[in-house]
Structure 1
Amino acid sequence: MNTLKTIGPVALILLMGSNSSFAQSFKREDKFLNAGIGIGGGLGIPFGVSYEQAVSDRISVGGYLAYSRKKERWNEYGEWKYSYILAAARGSYHLKVNSDRFDPYGGAMLGYNVASVKWSGEGSEPVSASAGGLMWGLHIGTRYWASEKVGAFAEIGYGATVLNVGVAFRL
């Protein structure tokens, strides 16, 4: 149900986009801000933001930051609470297509995952620890521009999530 509360405002923003003429879907020195949610991948439902800067007419580089929580119930005794903070550098290669609305791309990211776990329940706390480690991922995605400045994005891949969707802004 929380997913619907997130997708609703995104859909509203896209519907409000104007039908003005569009520039090329991806060009050198474009700057993008993406905000979205992830589904799948075992880390709960991460909420994340990414920033990208085009450094050529086909390549963008930037960063990704996300936060996620999930709970795991242990019978009637209590539950484990996991939290993750993900920070990564990412780069993408953008395909040339005959469309001013679609921006298909594929890329990779490399970063760090800070994970912590807490016990909430009866008796003494079982052994728990916080950890961190390198994280990498691959993605294939596209942006769809509803207006010159506002659009949506969707990515599939391996890494923080299997599917990442949200709203995109051209800065």
Structure 2
Amino acid sequence: MKKFFASLVIASLLLTCTQSFAQLDVDKGSKFLNAGIGLGGWGGIGYAGGLGLGASFEVGVAKNITVGAVGAFRSYSGFGSYYSIGGRGSYHFNEILSISDDKVDLYAGLGLIYSGWSWNDTYVGFRNSYGGIGLGGHVGARYFFKPALGAFAEAGFGVAPLQLGLSFKF
């Protein structure tokens, strides 16, 4: 009897977990939050260093289209910092690429980003800052290991050429 009950519980859990991964549709009202670290770097200052931190939030406005905000920061060990903030939009390719895996989300997009740099070289006494608006771009993928929690990898412009982190779907 215990084996039958245990088998019934396991089968129920598997069925529940399998059914909880509905088709990963990106429709009006879908919400995604990415938060991660930047790997590699140019960060506007021209050399690698420091740890980049970034986040983006997007909301579905139409089938397979999201828009939202992005922000990032990177500090360069006493030499300065780089930051960016702006808006962006993404197109989600699962439907057009016929990707049937409901845990995967492939996307790419563009944004309008304000980036600022500050230098503070204490060795030579040089201090300056600069900022400006530019075009940003990104290509990314998310893998959801739970219906609302996953991991993402994103390549693009900003504080690092590659960002890795957690992704949340609301």
The bucket for the TM-score relative to the shorter chain is 0.7 to 0.9
Indicate how the Cα distance of structure 1 residues 19 and 120 shifts in structure 2: closer, same or farther if over 3 A, else same.
farther
TM-score by length of 1: 0.76
| Paired letter, 1:39 | L
SS in 2 for 1:26: coil
Would the aligned equivalents of 2:55 and 2:72 in 1 still touch at CA under 8 Å? yes
Indicate how the Cα distance of structure 1 residues 163 and 66 shifts in structure 2: closer, same or farther if over 3 A, else same.
same
Q: How does 1:146-157 map to 2 (within 5 A)?
A: 146-157=145-156
Indicate how the Cα distance of structure 1 residues 108 and 41 shifts in structure 2: closer, same or farther if over 3 A, else same.
farther
CA distance in 2, matches of 1:170, 1:113: 27
Would the aligned equivalents of 2:80 and 2:121 in 1 still touch at CA under 8 Å? no
CA distance in 1, matches of 2:121, 2:138: 34
In structure 2, stretches of 5+ residues that fail to align are 1-15, 44-48
Indicate how the Cα distance of structure 1 residues 120 and 127 shifts in structure 2: closer, same or farther if over 3 A, else same.
closer
Q: Does 1:145 align with 2:147?
A: no
Q: How many residues align?
A: 143
Displacement after TM superposition at 1:108 (Å): 1.2
Q: How does 1:106-125 map to 2 (within 5 A)?
A: 106-121=108-123
Displacement after TM superposition at 1:152 (Å): 0.5
Equivalence for 1:162 = 161
Displacement after TM superposition at 1:135 (Å): 3.1
Q: Does 1:65 align with 2:71?
A: yes
Give % identity: 38
CA distance in 1, matches of 2:105, 2:126: 47
In structure 1, stretches of 5+ residues that fail to align are 1-17, 72-79
Q: How does 1:15-164 map to 2 (within 5 A)?
A: 19-20=17-18, 21-28=20-27, 29-43=29-43, 44=49, 45-71=51-77, 81-95=79-93, 96=95, 97-121=99-123, 126-164=125-163
Would the aligned equivalents of 2:104 and 2:141 in 1 still touch at CA under 8 Å? yes
Give the root-mean-square deviation of aligned CA atoms.
1.8
Largest Rg, 1 or 2:
2
Deviation per CA, 1:22-78: give whole Å up to 9, x if none. 12213211111110111223124320111000111210000001111113xxxxxxx
